[in-house]
């Protein structure tokens, strides 16, 4: 995948063809069937393979089915069918066993839980993620980003930086201040980002093993509970994954103990979690810890990836970037970004959303059918796993004209009027849509505007960028960029 800059406004390094948006009217077409041998071989040789493996084969097929071992799969791509699974009949499609590895690290939280526990806790937490609470977190974020910007200011102009590492460190610090009103460094250590990255890769590798073996769900759950255990050691390579869970758990426990011993009136997320209660009582300590860990890991990892892909695509599209810089200069006038400024940064927000269309940080959703059903005229049996490859949906030319083009105008106000609801899924969909989406968008827009006031980031000539499918879609070998000071 070439990352050479260009002056053209059309640059998406993976060209999935052009086309004109079509209405959502459906014609019944046969399901595409892939052989067990082919798909098993792809998983063994290439993993999930977004460009040349199992996942790549699914693109362009509204409904496909296959089997790996004893596990039966279907994939869907049309927004109407996605609506069926995520909205209309969501009770029949809880999260699949593929989320068990994440339970091993995160514990039981909104991200990994299922009904009825999920419904109760979502109702408890929803009020705490209303706009007024999320907005109150902005001051906790801004100071961290300004410190980071000062670090960039102190570098020689034209310094080469590795953007994945920078954004990971930055978003981890922002998450720490938003969640705990303090840095994570004192609790997790300087190698936390590297440890978590390795844990994600190990988790993906382990999930491939379970993907092929397909043990009973109770057995899979038991294995991942052992991974999460602080008392039962595991052999290599499982021990590295277990270390990640233990480090995170231990640090979160320490923070919770300190907050309970020394309460504060900070508007941070931890205080919001400690305030949550319903008729059956507050969150348990285990649940509070699990939710805090989930917000930290899913928030920092996905935002870091979203920011990396944004800088990458902006570097490839200088006209769109210049329009963004002009908007930031006009709105902020050199000031620190405030809540009142964010709604005015429409093109900046559109650039972010377009980058998440092309490179969605969460690239696939899986659900498991509880009872027999019919999706788009195709039978689905109880126990089958339903896969939604978000990247394929986001690049479907029926709903995204010329989908290989970076075009932020798709996300300007009113542009989505005729777009199907489930054609854009960066935060999932239905009642299980990410509870932290407002926080993530606020953080990303603030971060983009703040850093862009002083710098632009260009790709190092000849540097190759490749996307890697772990639990998130991340740059495999990083993104080497040149930080240039702006002349204002």
* Beta-carbon contacts of residue 466 (< 8 Å; ≥ 6 apart): 1, 475, 476, 477
Residue 434 counted as an annotated binding residue = yes
HEC profile of the chain: CCCCCCCCCCCCCCCCCCCCCCCCCCCCCCCEECCHHHHHHHHHHHCCCCCCCHHHHHCCCCEEEEEECCEEEEEECCHHHHHHHHHHCHHHCCECHHHHHHHHHHCCCCCCCCCCHHHHHHHHHHHHHCHHHHHCCHHHHHHHHHHHHHHHHCCCCCEEEEHHHHHHHHHHHHHHHHHHCCCCHHHHCCCHHHHHHHHHHHHHHHHHHHHHHCCCHHHHHHHHHHHHCCCCCCCCCHHHHHHHHHHHHHHHHHHHHHHHHCCCCCCCHHHHHHHCEECCEECCHHHHHHHHHHHHHHHHHHHHHHHHHHHHHHHHCHHHHHHHHHHHHHHHCCCCCCCCCHHHCHHHHHHHHHHHHHCCCCCEEEEECCCCEEECCEEECCCCEEEEEHHHHHCCCCCCCCCCCCCHHHHCCCCCCCCCHHHCCECECHHHCCCCHHHHHHHHHHHHHHHHCCEEEEECCCCCCCEEECCCEEECCCCEEEEEECCC
* Beta-carbon contacts of residue 88 (< 8 Å; ≥ 6 apart): none
Question: Which residues sit in the known binding site?
Answer: 434
What are the binding residues for heme? 434
């Amino acid at each position: 995948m070439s990352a050479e800059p260009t002056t053209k406004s059309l640059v998406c390094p993976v060209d999935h063809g052009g086309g004109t948006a079509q209405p959502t009217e459906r014609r019944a077409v046969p399901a595409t069937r892939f052989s067990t041998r082919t798909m098993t071989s792809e998983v063994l040789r290439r993993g999930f393979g977004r460009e040349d493996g199992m996942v790549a084969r699914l693109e362009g097929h509204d409904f496909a089915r296959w089997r790996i071992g004893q596990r039966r799969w279907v994939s869907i791509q049309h927004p109407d069918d996605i609506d069926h699974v995520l909205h209309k009949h969501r009770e029949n499609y809880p999260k699949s066993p593929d989320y068990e590895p994440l339970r091993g690290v995160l514990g039981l939280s909104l991200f990994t839980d299922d009904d009825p526990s999920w419904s109760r806790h979502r109702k408890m937490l929803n009020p705490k993620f209303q706009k007024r609470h999320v907005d109150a977190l902005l001051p906790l974020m801004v100071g961290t980003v300004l410190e980071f910007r000062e670090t960039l200011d102190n570098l020689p102009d034209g310094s080469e930086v590795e953007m994945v590492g920078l954004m990971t460190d930055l978003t981890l610090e922002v998450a720490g201040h938003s969640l705990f009103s303090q840095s994570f460094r004192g609790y997790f250590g300087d190698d936390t980002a590297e440890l978590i990255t390795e844990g994600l890769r190990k988790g993906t590798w382990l999930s491939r093993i379970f993907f092929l073996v397909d043990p009973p769900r109770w057995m899979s759950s038991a294995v991942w509970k052992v991974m999460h255990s602080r008392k039962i050691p595991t052999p290599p390579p499982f021990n590295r994954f277990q270390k990640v869970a233990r480090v995170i758990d231990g640090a979160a426990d320490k923070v919770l103990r300190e907050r309970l011993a020394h309460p504060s009136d900070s508007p941070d997320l931890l205080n919001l979690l400690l305030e949550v209660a319903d008729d059956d009582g507050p969150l348990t300590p285990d649940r509070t810890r699990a939710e805090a860990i989930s917000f930290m890991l899913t928030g920092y990892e996905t935002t870091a990836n979203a920011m990396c892909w944004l800088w990458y695509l902006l570097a490839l599209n200088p006209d769109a970037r210049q329009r963004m810089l002009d908007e930031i200069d006009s709105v902020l006038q050199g000031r620190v970004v405030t809540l009142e400024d964010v709604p005015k940064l429409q093109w900046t927000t559109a650039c972010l959303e377009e980058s998440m269309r092309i490179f969605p940080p969460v690239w696939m959703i899986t659900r498991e059918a509880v009872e027999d059903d019919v999706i788009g005229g195709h039978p689905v049996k109880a126990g089958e796993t339903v896969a939604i490859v978000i990247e394929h949906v986001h690049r479907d030319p029926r709903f995204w004209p010329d989908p290989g083009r970076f075009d932020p105008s798709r996300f300007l106000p009113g542009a989505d009027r005729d777009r199907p609801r489930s054609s854009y899924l960066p935060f999932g969909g239905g009642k299980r849509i990410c509870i932290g989406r407002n926080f993530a968008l606020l953080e990303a827009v603030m971060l983009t505007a703040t850093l862009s006031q002083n710098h632009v980031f260009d790709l190092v000539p000849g540097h190759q960028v490749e996307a890697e499918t772990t639990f998130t879609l991340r740059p495999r070998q990083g993104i080497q960029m040149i930080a240039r000071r702006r002349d204002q």
